[in-house]
């Protein structure tokens, strides 16, 4: 159901993306988010480039709450 599905499958002669690597990256981010849920404020990966062999997160933002701060 993704609009980008044709691009991931290979489009206009381009090779298909390594979907296993894309899913591995998504699952790793989900695991991190679950493990850090108590202090995780924000997480963003943009873009995640799906290659024919692998996937690369070009830029990421992770914002965690300051564990040493006292609540207001």
For residue range 16-51, list pLDDT tens digits in order. 999 999 999 999 999 999 999 999 999 999 999 999
Burial of 18 per CB tally in 10 Å (0-12, 13-18, 19+): middle
pTM exceeds cut of 0.75: yes
Q: How far is CA 2 from CA 41, 58, 68, in A?
A: 27, 21, 41
Residues in the chain, how many?
72
Burial of 5 per CB tally in 10 Å (0-12, 13-18, 19+): exposed
For 49-66, write each residue's pLDDT tens digit: 999 999 999 999 999 998
Confidence at residue 14, expressed as pLDDT on a 0 to 100 scale: 93
């Amino acid at each position: 159901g993704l609009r980008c599905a044709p691009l991931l499958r290979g489009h206009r002669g381009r090779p298909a993306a390594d979907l296993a690597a894309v899913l591995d990256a998504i699952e790793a981010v989900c695991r991190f988010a679950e493990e850090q849920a108590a202090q995780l404020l924000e997480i963003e990966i943009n873009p995640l480039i799906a290659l024919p062999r692998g996937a690369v997160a070009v830029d990421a933002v992770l914002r965690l709450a300051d564990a040493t701060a006292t609540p207001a």
